[in-house]
Amino acid sequence: MKDISFSRRAVMLGAAALPLARRAAAQSGTKPLVISSGNGVAACAKAMELIHAGEDTLDAVIAGVNIVELDPNDHSVGYGGLPNEDGVVELDASCMHGPTRRAGAVGALRGIKTPSKVAKAVMEQTAHMFLVADGALRFAKALGFQEENLLTEQSRQAWLVWKRSLRDSNGRNNWVPGIDAPPAKKTGALDLEQLKREFPGAGEKWLAQCVDFAVHPPHGTINCIALNQKGEMSAVTTTSGMAWKIPGRVGDSPIIGGGLWLDQDVGAAGSTGLGEENLRVCGAHTCVENMRHGMSAKDAALDTLKRVARNFDNDMERLKQVDLQFYVMSKDGDYCGASLWDRTRPGGPVTQFAVCNGTGQSHRQDAVFLLERRS
Ligand code: GLY
């Protein structure tokens, strides 16, 4: 009896703390909603389809991101992800289930195309929360996951182009022809014409992309967050991490509170971009705690990004090298995608995120941003 009256009082106090508009939205019933990073239009649509079919929100978001994990043409996640400096693809993933308040994660997992499913298995089938490297692979194989080579031909080519870009102080590199070889038409670490001769089947567009990957190592990821009609939430983040990383490097994606956080009483957040800088502000947790203290999803994310800028003393020259986004959703359906910069590079497209609100098509929307790049 005592417990019941305490919990009723706590609920009333919680409701009193909610701003009026948001309380009204919560009372009028919840509209299903799925958001994701910009590479997740299909993931949001799939998750929404499963939510409408009555599936659990965690199954829905994981089925959504599986599309991207299995896509060999997404070079930031799962199969076809860009490898570590040894040419081996290493994957990180985490998931959180709102209704049961549980979480699971894997880090530096090799050979399994769908690390998000392994993270869910860690959550559901072990007394642990986070398995890494060989232990995570052995666990996955014990459950029947198939071990496969995740390096596609394209990812291998991108890795070789990156190796050619590396030089010692004398401009030497053992992965290019030696000093007695016939001279190339042009010199330089990454000459597109030379690369076209070395990779005759690769195609000029892809080789130009490989050069860009070598010069600007990407650290893309997919985060996906869902809310169903009952107000239940789940979230997942999955990635191949930073391209050309030191083997064993784990980013923010599998860190509960860093690349992903969900509190069923408040909302959820996830991140893509440079994991090291997200971890310095414990970003996903910070976004959700900001909402707990009354901020909108947008303000919660922008405040977290301000903390990242503060870590660089707002020095724009150093901040220019940081690419970081948050995806934030409150339990009552307030949401945003927010980016440190308006675009990844000067002249590039505005950063977007994916949304499916259940009535319309899954689509991309412009993210809000903290800083504007000058061209
Ligand atoms: N956010 C992905 C990573 O840094 O690994």
Residue 252 Cβ contacting ligand 1 at under 6 Å: yes
Q: Is 242 in the pocket of ligand 1 (CB under 6 A)?
A: yes
Domain contains 26: no
pLDDT of amino acid 188 = 57
Q: Give every CB contact of residue 11 below 8 A, 6+ residues apart in sequence.
A: none
Q: Which residue CA neighbors atom 4 of ligand 1 most closely?
A: 275
Q: Provide the 10 A C-beta neighbour count for residue 30.
A: 17
Residue type (1 letter), 59: D
Q: 115 C-alpha to center of ligand 1: Å?
A: 14
Q: If 0-12 CB within 10 Å is exposed, 13-18 middle and 19+ buried, where does residue 218 land?
A: buried
Distance CA 151, CA 50 (A): 30
Report, as residue numbers or ranges, the catalytic residues.
221
pLDDT at res. 340? 98
pLDDT at 241 over 60: yes
12 occurs within a structural domain: no
This prediction's pTM = 0.89
Specify the pLDDT at position 328.
98
How many CB atoms are closer than 10 A to CB 223?
A: 32
Concatenated DSSP letters for 92-137? EEEEEETTTTEEEEEEEE-S-S-HHHHHHHHHHHSS-SEEEHHHHH
Structural domain boundaries enclosing 135: 36-150+218-371
Q: Is pLDDT above 50 for 4?
A: no
Q: DSSP states of 228-266 as a string? A: -TTS-EEEEEEE--STTPPTT---STTSBTTTEEEETTT
Of 89-93, 218-222, 370-374, the poorest mean pLDDT is in 218-222
CATH classification of the domain holding 143: 3.60.20.30
Q: Output the pLDDT for position 29.
A: 66
- Phi/psi at 354 (5° precision): -105, 145
Task: Indicate whether 286 belongs to any domain.
Answer: yes
Q: 170-201 b/e with 16+ CB inside 10 Å = b?
A: eeeeeebeeeeeeeeeeeeebbeebbeebbee
- Ligand 1 atom showing the smallest separation from residue 241 Cα: 5
Which range of 15-19, 181-185, 309-313 scores highest in mean pLDDT? It is 309-313
Between 115 and 177, the more confident residue is 115
Q: For residues 324-342, b (16+ Cβ closer than 10 Å) or e, as one string?
A: bbbbbbbbbbbbbbbbbbb
161 found inside a domain: no
How many Å lie between the centroid of ligand 1 and the Cα of residue 324?
9
pLDDT tens column, 130-171: 999 999 999 999 999 999 999 999 999 999 999 988 988 888
Please write the tens of the pLDDT for every residue from 9-59: 444 444 444 444 444 344 446 899 999 999 999 999 999 999 999 999 999
Task: Give the atom of ligand 1 at the shortest distance from the alpha carbon of 274.
Answer: 4
Judge whether 235 lies within some domain.
yes
Give 199 Cα–ligand 1 centroid separation in angstroms.
29
CA distance 203 to 196: 7
Whole-number pLDDT of residue 183: 65
- Give me the mean pLDDT over the 116-130 stretch: 98
Residue 195 lies in a domain: no
Let me know if residue 20 belongs to a domain: no
Q: Which helix (H) or strand (E) holds 364?
A: strand 363-366
Q: How many domains does the chain have?
A: 1
pLDDT in tens, 56-104: 999 999 999 999 999 999 998 999 999 999 999 999 999 999 999 999 9
Q: How confident is the model at residue 180 (pLDDT cuts 50, 70, 90)?
A: confident
Q: Which two tokens stand for residue 33?
A: 């909603």
